[in-house]
Chain A
Amino acid sequence: MACKKQTVPFSGTKEQEEALKKVISELKDIQGSLMPIMQKAQDIYGYLPIEVQTMISDETGIPLEKVYGVATFYSQFALQPKGKYKISVCLGTACYVKGSGNIFSKLEELLGITNGECTPDGKFSLDSCRCVGACGLAPVMMINGEVYGRLVPDDIPGILAKYN
């Protein structure tokens, strides 16, 4: 759940804050702009810690609890930072029937983390996702947008080694 204690101290820069303020001033008068603002904010900071949510609330005048409500409703918004290498394993139906569950277990075993977590060194984070749409290559995983398809669990150590 989203109430998980924050483990990484917030370290936003002045530039990031300025970028966020610029985005907000451009978008805030558009009807229903809270989500686009939050999406841009996540692009700037990589995640949406409470500090960033507070800035959004202050600048737009939208109550913080509304911002927090939206941040915790959608799975795309992260309250915790992601790893340098973001691994997402497709657990959509087409990949699942072709064994992506075993790929996921293998990653959990090798990285020592589970869904939604990040390794202590900040290197890898692991997420499951629903259908990246490369069903022809099932089972599929992505690392920072690069797609690896037709996987078997034995491929995983070699792929991770590329990033180590």
Chain B
Amino acid sequence: MYRSHVLVCGGTGCTSSGSPQIIERLKEEIERQGLTDEVAVIQTGCHGLCALGPIMIVYPDASFYSMVKVEDIPEIVSEHLLKGRVVTRLLYDETVTSAGVKALIDTDFYKKQHRVALRNCGVINPEVIDEYIGTGGYEALGKVLTEMTPDDVIQTLLDSGLRGRGGGGFPTGLKWKLAKQNDADQKYVCCNADEGDPGAFMDRSVLEGDPPVVLEAMAIAGYAIGANQGYIYVRAEYPIAVDRLKIAIEQAREYNLLGKDIFGTGFDFDIDLRLGAGAFVCGEETALMTSIEGKRGEPRPRPPFPAQKGLFGKPTILNNVETYANIPQIILNGAEWFASMGTEKSKGTKVFALGGKIHNTGLVEIPMGTTLREVIEEIGGGIPNGKRFKAAQTGGPSGGCIPAEHFDIPIDYDNLISIGSMMGSGGLIVMDEDDCMVDIAKFFLEFTVEESCGKCTPCRVGTRRMLEILTKITKGQATMEDLDKLEELCYYIKENSLCGLGQTAPNPVLSTLRYFRDEYEAHIKEKRCPAGVCKALLSYVIDRDKCRGCTLCARNCPAGAIIGSVKNPHVIDTEKCVKCGACMEKCKFGAITKK
């Protein structure tokens, strides 16, 4: 028995900001102060508040230390762990009030969250199966195998209203039902962990923080549809997730929770890992299965749907990581419990990765129906530097931008589609007044052009033409006819592309055109970028009255474009200027502006 447990986040965010060094130092110091038998150090998964990493929580009192530095460790060990005096100075400042230390669950970031899929993330050691079992893990699998028929399992999922969390929103129970109906000598259960949307890391956090939940849910799926082999297709770019999945699979095999005759019920199920190799299109279900087969990950037309003819030509179900993470809880707590959360057509919770221009960058799980305002202003802590909110981007390269006028819309699948965006897998990037919406649309098109697999013409050629027009607009060379052509192309590509990648590729353009057409027009008609991003349309100017002639800008100009003598106002030679903005950053008097 330990009298205190110190949980240190070992997710990718905190690992990048130095949590492995914190753990090493902590163990050293605990040993030096003779506390090895009293205090346990545990590496957990993500706590969500990635912006404040590395994060460390000391139990039993749940003191939350944020942005911990290696130098702080001796003090935390001797004061808090040895003498029991919390080092208030180093706590997450939101938890410190005049009345004392506030529980984490009462802070703005956590109080509106409801953790179902992320239930164990940041709570258990993801590399120890006993900790998962200790929090109720594998109980759902036991219940399914001993008390429920496959049809009961499917009915429970149908009643719960769970929809695919990868973005499509297809009812999970229905998907399983279709796969069960198809008789075959072999069926497969696949997990899509090829989280490709840039800026989205929900699935990674589940895999890093609670990998056994995915294995358990896949085994449940195997029982429900009659499959005995599963594959997890995971991005090779997630090394920590891959390692922990391997450990979780090995441990589950040791405990006979994977393998032959699970729970002595005669049910066999095993899981293999397949690593992706950096192709966004492999997030599309048919492409993903083609990739598991070891081929170029190109999508194919549907029907036949995977439930009829999927991996290696056999009936297959494919679900996303977050979808699976919900399933054991639904089995244990019942369909009504799950259906009591959320909106009429979108049940349960959704995990979002908050990023971009927002204070609390990180991972949040909210009940469906929470408004964007609550997510951004309350949970996210608002926009830094007093800037104004411009748009939130959801759904990655397939989604769209939500402007301020829809700030109070409850987030669910159907609402987001009705305003021209989509749920997507859960990336939510916040943009402020300094972001140019034409530039953002161009950014996503560059992504799609690069990631288009090239199989069908509308996507391969069409997106390239769109990018050319967008580039022309950002350079101030486009006409209003180009804008019409761009819009026409959008609809054409949407209707004619083979797979989801092409069908949704125009969305970033369509949604920005819908809400920010004035920005497009300013680029075209006035040759002006209102946000001051598009370099070709910018010019830097020195205000003669503010310039003190300190020469700092001239010394820092890489192009030698600034002319002027000491103590006299300087001027920028616009012919030579490369618009790098170095002068503006360096000027101490705010004399340089861009317009």
How far, in angstroms, from A93 to B357 measured CA to CA in the complex?
Answer: 11
Q: Is the CB of A97 within 8 A of B429?
A: yes
Q: Are B355 and A138 in contact (CB under 8 A)?
A: yes
Count of A-B residue pairs with CB < 8 Å:
132
Whether B393 and A93, one on each chain, are in contact in the complex, defined by CB atoms closer than 8 angstroms, is: yes
Known: A31-B312, A97-B429, A136-B50. A149 touches B16 (CB 8 A): yes
Chain B nearest CB from A47 CB (Å) reads 13
CB of A75 within 8 A of chain B? yes
Interface residues of A in 52-69 (CB under 8 A from B): 66, 69
- Residue-wise, chain A 95-113 has the 8 Å CB interface mask toward B (1 for contact) of 1111000000000000000
Question: How far does the alpha carbon of A75 sit from the alpha carbon of B291 in the complex, in Å?
Answer: 13
| With contact pairs A70-B296, A136-B362 given, residues A97 and B356 touching in the complex (Cβ less than 8 Å) | yes
Please tell me if B151 contacts chain A, counting CB pairs below 8 Å: no
Q: Is the CB of A73 within 8 A of B297?
A: yes
Minimum CB–CB distance from A135 to chain B (whole Å) comes to 4
Q: Which of B15, B53, B198 contacts A92 (CB 8 A)?
A: B198
Q: Is B7 an interface residue (CB 8 A)?
A: no
Inside 8 A of B393's CB, which chain A residues have their CB?
Answer: 93
User: Does any Cβ of B come within 8 Å of A151's Cβ?
Assistant: no
Residues of A with C-beta under 8 A to B274:
32, 35-36
Within 8 Å of chain B (Cβ to Cβ): is A77? yes
Number of interface residues of B (CB under 8 A): 52
Q: Given the complex of chains A and B, what is the CA–CA distance between A138 and B197 in angstroms?
A: 16
The answer to whether the Cβ of B230 comes within 8 Å of any Cβ in the partner chain is: no
B293 (CB) vs chain A CBs: closest residue: A32
Report chain A residues within 8 Å CB of B443: 93, 96
Quick check: A135 and B295 within 8 Å, CB to CB? no
In the complex the two chains form, what is the Cα distance from A93 to B276 in whole Å? 21
Q: Which residues of B contact A144 (CB under 8 A)?
A: none
A93 touches B355 (CB 8 A): yes
Instruction: Name the residue on A nearest B52 (C-beta).
Output: A136
Chain A neighbourhood of B292, CB < 8 A:
32
Give chain B residues whose Cβ lies under 8 Å from the Cβ of A131. Answer: 197-201, 237
What residue of chain A has the Cβ atom nearest to residue B14's Cβ? A136
Which of the 9-residue segments B71-79, B113-121, B128-136, B277-285 touches chain A? B277-285
B398 within 8 A of A: no
Q: Nearest chain A CB to B389's CB is how many angstroms away?
A: 13
Least CB distance from A83 to B in Å reads: 18
Known A-B contacts A94-B198, A94-B361, A132-B12; the reply to A32 vs B279 at CB < 8 A is: no
Q: Of A33, A98, A132, A133, which one neighbours B294 at CB under 8 angstroms? A: A33
Q: Are A129 and B356 in contact (CB under 8 A)?
A: no
CA distance A101 to B576 in the complex (A): 22
Q: How far is the CA of A94 from the CA of B50 in the complex (A)?
A: 13
Q: Are A133 and B279 in contact (CB under 8 A)?
A: no
What are 12 A-B pairs with beta-carbon distances under 8 A?
A32-B293, A32-B312, A34-B294, A35-B274, A39-B277, A76-B278, A94-B361, A95-B199, A131-B197, A135-B50, A135-B355, A147-B17
Lowest 10 A-B CB distances belong to which pairs?
A94-B355, A92-B198, A136-B50, A74-B277, A34-B294, A147-B16, A75-B278, A76-B277, A93-B199, A76-B278
Given contacts A32-B292, A74-B279, A136-B52, 12 further A-B contacts (CB under 8 A): A32-B274, A35-B275, A69-B296, A75-B279, A76-B277, A97-B429, A131-B197, A132-B16, A136-B51, A137-B13, A137-B53, A140-B16
**Which B residues are closer than 8 A to A by beta carbons?**
12-13, 15-17, 50-53, 196-201, 204, 236-238, 274-280, 291-298, 312, 353, 355-357, 361-362, 393, 396, 427, 429, 431, 435, 440, 443-444, 447, 453
